[in-house]
Amino acid sequence: MSAAAEQTVLDRAELDPAKAPSFPVAALPVLRNVQLRKNVAHAIDVIQAKRARLVAEKTDWQALRAAAAAIKDHVLENLGAYLEQFEERCTAAGGTVHWAVDAADARKIILEILREEKADEVIKIKTMTSAEIQLNPFLEAAGVRTYETDLAEIILQLGEGEPSHIVVPALHVNRSQVREIFARRMGIENLSDEPKALTAAARNYLRQKFLLVPTAISGANFLIAETGGVVVVESEGNGRMCLTLPRTMITLAGIEKVLPRFQDLEVMLQLLARSATGERMNPYTSLWTGVTPGDGPQKFHVVLLDNGRSSILARKKERQTLRCIRCAACMNTCPVYRQTGGHAYGSVYPGPIGAILTPQLEQLRHAQSLPFASSLCGACYEVCPVKINIPEILIDLRAQVTDQERKTAGKFFDPMYVAMRAANLIFSRAWLFHAAQKMGRIGSRFLTRKDGWMHSLPSVGAKWTLTRDLRGLPRQTFHEWWAARERGAK
Amino acid sequence: MQASLFITCYNDTLFPETGRALVRLLERLGVEVEFRAGQTCCGQMHANTGFRREAFCQAKRLVRLYADAEAVVIPSSSCVAMIRDQYPGLFEELGDEALRKDFAALVPRVYELSEFLIDKLGVEDVGAYFPHRVTYHASCHGLRGLHLGERPFRLLRKVRGLELAPLANLERCCGFGGTFSVKNGEVSSAMLTVKLEDVLATKAEFCTALDNSCLMHLGGGMHRQYAGMKTIHMAQILASTEKEPPEVAG
């Protein structure tokens, strides 16, 4: 094997919010990567176009959104009661329910179950929640081999990459990279990059795991309180294999995933498939309740994960964040995500929902740059199937970050903070505003070129003149013109 | 009909020609225009950058200043959206009952320009003449904040001589986003590049909008790239006649 081939195919992104660089910094390598930006833009444009077509055919789309938001709000109002009901029904059906307060707790619970099962290997259905708690590296370090079974997750696991999207995690990887990863890690010579050949290779790799590994881990799209059931939706059927072949199943689910009734799926599934993949119905919807003798896993555990969620629940305005059903429509429509892809967000949850969810899950100890990673264009709110007002929450989180930062000495002299304080003073009195305009006009003369435009600005303005000129300040402001006109009229 | 003009801080400083055009347009339509000297800013920049208390101070100032105005006309969708969407939250958190009452009384009388013309005055044909090929950029706040919908197009279609060039991906943000354009300068620039491809592909002579903030962004990019297209606020197009063509800078 050549030296070049020893290197990994995919760039390693840092998705731990505690370690990730700030958004503007993390975005830079992606912005320089023309191919990556093309891959991302093409992929999300395709999904968005499909979504738009299928949403347009639903005459009751707005009613469905309102219903979904109402169902979720009702759950969040009564979350404790529904979770207890879920626990009771799930237990009655033969499952075991565990409560995990944070990521470390959830990892410990899962490892204990695996130890009890004497499992040193586990197959996994795609679950972003397990990525949230960094489960795979923890299990690997504890001597448990993890095998992802979602095609995109296999690509990332074998290529040692990180997810950049919550529905299409390998969105940023192209076909020739997939070919290279599969050829090397599965040891296949002369593998073509035709989709048929690549999926055949994956199928061959997967069948062995399905048949040999008796323990599986899944996430959950929904938990049903009245039945104690769990719902997973997927496109490939690999999840279905994990749900039927193994002896033991462990489901990891955020506490906000619970729905009151089976009937509520009628609303949610119509919204989810259309919003997520632009399909009327996703190809595989699996529902299971506890244990059924002779059919499917004979041992079933559910780990209910808090990990910061109840602190979001406690905040009136931000609570709607927990309505999220992880469809990713917000990132597919986001003009910022379209340029940066997912890795710049430094979290397993990228895009607009990640920009509000991650800092809240981190309780603003990390990821403080994320609420600012938006032009507040509002496209995310418009497509959100559960009507999360993401721009409103972004602005609210910005205020929380600013309140936190402005007390620190380092930020006191930060040019942006100085400018904002000065602007506030200036806007408090019209005469101060007018004096500042005059001073600005005089000062800007030195920066204005012969063509009447400023091409290079100092301090924070330098980021503007990276790519944009600014017209020189006109000789007369509007209010000066108005005053002169009034004088002339008299 | 009397209308009080809230020009907004950045239009006052950077785009006075928009204000002059707006006065000419409204007076031509028989509106008596007044301008209150105490005005400064609506507070949007502070609110969207996380400075809530500062934003509240400016919001309170604005409500007090216009409490007795018959109608307030604002040639900037994002400032109108600030007032409608963010003032209630600010006043809920930091204001008192009297302020909330004053605001509730004022807000139905606050109009974005195209709303004022179509909804309040009931005119679509404002008697404008502008013999140029023009493309319309829908600002995010006008499109999704105020739901202006067809209003801008209805006004532009009635302008004599104007050839309207459709813009692809009309609903996509230009990447300005206020302080986003400097806090995330590189990402904002990448968004601008993508937007300009669509705008320049229209082969229009002018790109117009109801927000000079987007136009400052688009125009700044065009100027940097020697693109040969100009930006112009819609008030200037609507004010323009055979006798008085618009003042176009730079």
Same domain, B54 and B98: yes
Same domain, B140 and B231: yes
How many domains is chain B partitioned into structurally?
A: 2
- Please provide the size of chain B in residues: 250
B168 shares contact with chain A (CB less than 8 Å): no
CB contact under 8 A, B175 and A375: yes
Sheet with A215-218: list strands edge to edge.
A96-100, A299-305, A248-254, A215-218, A121-124, A145-148
DSSP for A327-353?
--HHHHH-HHHHHHTTGGG-SSS-HHH
Overall average pLDDT of the B135-145 stretch: 98
Give the residue from B120, B149, B170 where a domain finishes: B120
Same domain, B10 and B55: yes
Residue B221 lies in a domain: yes
Distance, in Å, from the CA atom of B113 to the CA atom of B122, rounded to the nearest integer, reads 12
CB contact under 8 A, A477 and B12: yes
CB contact under 8 A, B41 and A427: yes
Instruction: Provide the pLDDT for residue A5.
Output: 42
In this predicted model, what pLDDT tens digit does every residue of A337-346 receive, in sequence order?
Answer: 999 999 999 9
Same domain, B7 and B116: yes
Give the residue from B120, B149, B171 where a domain finishes: B120
CB contact under 8 A, B40 and A395: no
Q: Across the interface, which of A24, A375, A392 has its CB nearest the CB of B186? A: A24
- Domain hosting residue B142, numbered range: 133-239
* E strand spans, chain B: 2-5, 32-34, 72-74, 110-112, 133-136, 163-165, 206-209, 230-233
Q: Across the interface, which of A423, A440, A476 has its CB nearest the CB of B45? A: A423
Token look-up 């819609």 returns: B234
Cα distance from B71 to chain A (closest Cα, Å)? 19
Residue B248 lies in a domain: no
Cβ-proximal residues to A383 (8 Å cutoff; 6+ apart), any chain: A51, A275, A329, A330, A332, A333
**Considering chain B, what is the average pLDDT of its residues?**
97
CB contact under 8 A, B179 and A381: no
Q: What percentage of chain B reaches a pLDDT higher than 90?
A: 98
Which of B51, B169, B193, B230 to substitute to test the interface with A, most A CBs within 10 Å?
A: B51
How far does CA A262 lie from the centroid of its chain?
Answer: 26
Distance, in Å, from the CA atom of B72 to the CA atom of B110, rounded to the nearest integer, reads 5
* A&B contacts, CB < 8 Å: 207
Distance, in Å, from the CA atom of B112 to the CA atom of B232, rounded to the nearest integer, reads 17
pLDDT under 50: residue ranges of chain A: 1-6
Which of B49, B169, B216, B218 to substitute to test the interface with A, most A CBs within 10 Å?
A: B49
Same domain, B116 and B209: no
Distance, in Å, from the CA atom of A474 to the CA atom of B13, rounded to the nearest integer, reads 8
Residue of A nearest to B50 (CA): A399
Cα distance from B79 to chain A (closest Cα, Å)? 13
CB-neighbour burial class of residue A330 (10 A; exposed 0-12, middle 13-18, buried 19+): buried
Residue B246 lies in a domain: no
Amino acid sitting at position A179: R
Same domain, B174 and B197: yes
In this predicted model, what pLDDT tens digit does every residue of B149-200 receive, in sequence order?
Answer: 999 999 999 999 999 999 999 999 999 999 999 999 999 999 999 999 999 9
Residue B249 lies in a domain: no
Question: Among residues 8-27 of chain B, which lie with CB inside 8 Å of chain A?
Answer: 9, 11-20, 23
Instruction: Provide the pLDDT for residue A6.
Output: 44
User: Does residue B104 carry a pLDDT above 50?
Assistant: yes
Distance, in Å, from the CA atom of A220 to the CA atom of B176, rounded to the nearest integer, reads 38
Same domain, B107 and B55: yes
B228 shares contact with chain A (CB less than 8 Å): no
Residue B247 lies in a domain: no
Which of B35, B40, B170, B176 to substitute to test the interface with A, most A CBs within 10 Å?
A: B40
pTM for the full predicted model: 0.96
Residue B207 lies in a domain: yes
Amino acid sitting at position B53: R
Residue of B nearest to A436 (CA): B13
What φ, ψ does residue A196 adopt, rounded to 5°?
A: -60, -45
ipTM of predicted assembly, 2 dp: 0.97
Same domain, B109 and B141: no
Instruction: Give the domain CATH number at B219.
Output: 3.40.50
Same domain, B114 and B202: no
Q: Across the interface, which of B43, B51, B187 has its CB nearest the CB of A336? A: B187
Residue B127 lies in a domain: no
Cα distance from B26 to chain A (closest Cα, Å)? 14
Task: Tell me which chain A residues have a C-beta less than 8 angstroms from the C-beta of B249.
Answer: 452, 471, 474
Q: Across the interface, which of A335, A455, A471 has its CB nearest the CB of B250? A: A471
Distance, in Å, from the CA atom of A178 to the CA atom of A175, rounded to the nearest integer, reads 5
Instruction: Provide the pLDDT for residue A7.
Output: 52
Distance, in Å, from the CA atom of B104 to the CA atom of B63, rounded to the nearest integer, reads 10
Distance, in Å, from the CA atom of A64 to the CA atom of A402, rounded to the nearest integer, reads 36
Query: Closest Cα to residue A234, out of A356, A152, A300, A173?
Result: A152
Distance, in Å, from the CA atom of A225 to the CA atom of A231, rounded to the nearest integer, reads 12
Take residue B198 and report the two structure tokens written for it.
Answer: 């669509």
CB contact under 8 A, B216 and A470: yes
Same domain, B22 and B103: yes
Which of A45, A376, A453, A466 to substitute to test the interface with B, most B CBs within 10 Å?
A: A376
Same domain, B6 and B110: yes
CB contact under 8 A, A470 and B250: no
Give the residue from B120, B150, B169 where a domain finishes: B120
Residue B7 lies in a domain: yes
Same domain, B77 and B103: yes
Exposure pattern of A265-302 as b/e (b: 16+ CB <10 Å)? bebbbbbbbbbbbbbeebebbbebbbbeeeebbebbbb
CB contact under 8 A, A402 and B183: no
Q: Which domains does chain A have, with CATH numbers?
A: 3-21+63-310 (3.40.50.10420), 412-489 (no CATH)
C-alpha torsion A122→A127→A130→A131, nearest 10 = 110
CB contact under 8 A, B189 and A467: yes
Cβ-proximal residues to B126 (8 Å cutoff; 6+ apart), any chain: B25, B28, B29, B117, B155, B158, B159, B238
